[in-house]
Amino acid sequence: MGEELDEELVRRVQRGDKKAFDALVIKYQHKIAQLINRYVKDHHEAMDVAQETFIKAYRALPGFRGESAFYTWLYRIAINTAKNHLSMRSRRPSDDEIDIEDAEQFEGGTRLRSYETPESHLLTDEIAAVIQDALQNLPEELRSAITLREFDGLSYDEIAQVMGCPVGTVRSRIFRAREAIDKRLEPLLR
Amino acid sequence: MNTEHASEKLSALLDDALDAKDGLTVLEDLRGDRELRAKFHRYQAVRSVLRSEGGALPDIDFSARVRAAIDQEPVVLSPRVVRHEFRERVATFALAASMAALAIMVVRSVNHYSPDKASEMLASVNLSTPAVHASMEPDLREYLNMHNESAYLSGSQGLMPSVRLVSGNQGR
């Protein structure tokens, strides 16, 4: 379903609708920012590179023919932009080349922590503690649903099969789990 | 849109579980609603932590900055899509025209070599003219007649001109 939405948005942008591109930015800004953060340690620099990525993508969209998924294409632009940025600043890219296939299987975890600035590391620790606590205090069915989604990466259909309930119930449980966690998180991220 | 309803769709958007129609609606809401964008930002933060993705997240005004930069860009259109469509139309027309021409040729060929057509042509040849009639011996005429008729039925072109000269059996 996500690809169907992206295809429609891309078609609209290619017909001159800039608002549709805005929607694509909103949808993918977090993923792209985190991807670039793996290469560019400084947060502000990473956001500049992320912005540059989206501008490059906008300019290149007339030539996008949909031979790959939009996000795959955007992903490549982000990696190239990040590496170019590092080259221009005379920093060597990481010795282990992160190809797109490897990047998609990238676990993150302990390796990523070495890229975090002290500021963001602190924020992540505080947020992580609140989230973990909120997660543990969720009703069982909500905790199971969001755990299956976020830790195990299962789709709604798969979760429905595991939990023996309709897809609509899965969707509702995941939403209510996020809402419960969000109530604890909101004061920290105002 | 009702806030809870919008938030539920936001949650589904995060999981790529919205169809295009609903997805477009929610994204349009996000563009215009800062509070909703802030919530989407927090949902993303929760995901990042639960998946141990770490790293810093963009602030909620990131998309507005990108929008401002894009507003300075010229509107993009996809001319390659237009040209591609034109090429497709031309190619389709050419193919259709070729097929039509081929069909006409085939029909003409079939008519040309059909027994009915052959019979007509045979009938149309006036061999009762004294010059032709007198130039042939009866046995030879009979022989050639039988040969030509069988040749026509098998579709042999090479004997076509010969009909006019040698076929002498109009009465058959």
- In this complex, do B55 and A23 lie within 8 Å of one another by their Cβ atoms? no
pLDDT range class, residue A123, cuts 50, 70, 90: low
- The predicted structure's pLDDT at residue B94: 76
Note the pTM of the prediction, 2 decimals. 0.65
Q: How far is CA A45 from CA B56, B60, B110, in A?
A: 11, 17, 77
Q: Are A120 and A43 in contact (CB under 8 A)?
A: yes
- Reply yes or no on whether the pLDDT at A150 is more than 80: yes
A14-29: buried (b, 16+ CB within 10 Å) or exposed (e) per residue? beeeeebbbbbbbbbb
Nearest one of B51, B23, B26 to B39, comparing CA atoms: B26
**Secondary structure, 3-state, chain B:** CCHHHHHHHHHHHHCCCCCHHHHHHHHHHHHHCHHHHHHHHHHHHHHHHHCCCCCCCCCCCHHHHHHHHHHCCCCCCCHHHHHHHHHHHHHHHHHHHHHHHHHHHHHHHHHHHCHHHHHHHHHHCCCCCHHHHHCCCHHHHHHHHHHHHHHHHCCCHHHHHHHHHHCCCCCC
Cα first-last separation, chain A: 32
B32-51: buried (b, 16+ CB within 10 Å) or exposed (e) per residue? eeeebbbbbbbbbbbbbbbe
- Asked if A54 is an interface residue toward chain B (Cβ–Cβ < 8 A), one would say yes
The C-alpha atoms of residue B149 and residue B138 are separated, in whole angstroms, by 17
Q: Are A153 and A125 in contact (CB under 8 A)?
A: no
- In this complex, do B52 and A37 lie within 8 Å of one another by their Cβ atoms? no
- Reply yes or no on whether the pLDDT at A13 is more than 80: yes
- Reply yes or no on whether the pLDDT at A111 is more than 50: no
| Nearest residue on chain B to A171, alpha-carbon basis | B12
- Asked if A44 is an interface residue toward chain B (Cβ–Cβ < 8 A), one would say no
Sign for the CA dihedral angle at A142, A132, B29, A22 comes to: negative
- Reply yes or no on whether the pLDDT at B167 is more than 50: no
pLDDT range class, residue B55, cuts 50, 70, 90: low
- In this complex, do A2 and B16 lie within 8 Å of one another by their Cβ atoms? yes
pLDDT range class, residue A126, cuts 50, 70, 90: confident
- Asked if A84 is an interface residue toward chain B (Cβ–Cβ < 8 A), one would say no
The C-alpha atoms of residue B3 and residue B135 are separated, in whole angstroms, by 106
Helix axes B115-124, B79-113, angle to 10 degrees: 50
- Reply yes or no on whether the pLDDT at A75 is more than 80: yes
Instruction: Name the minimum distance, in Å, from the CA of A55 to any CA of chain B.
Output: 7
- Asked if B69 is an interface residue toward chain A (Cβ–Cβ < 8 A), one would say yes
Helix axes A167-185, A118-136, angle to 10 degrees: 130
- In this complex, do B58 and A29 lie within 8 Å of one another by their Cβ atoms? yes
Q: What is the mean pLDDT of chain B?
A: 71
- Asked if A166 is an interface residue toward chain B (Cβ–Cβ < 8 A), one would say no
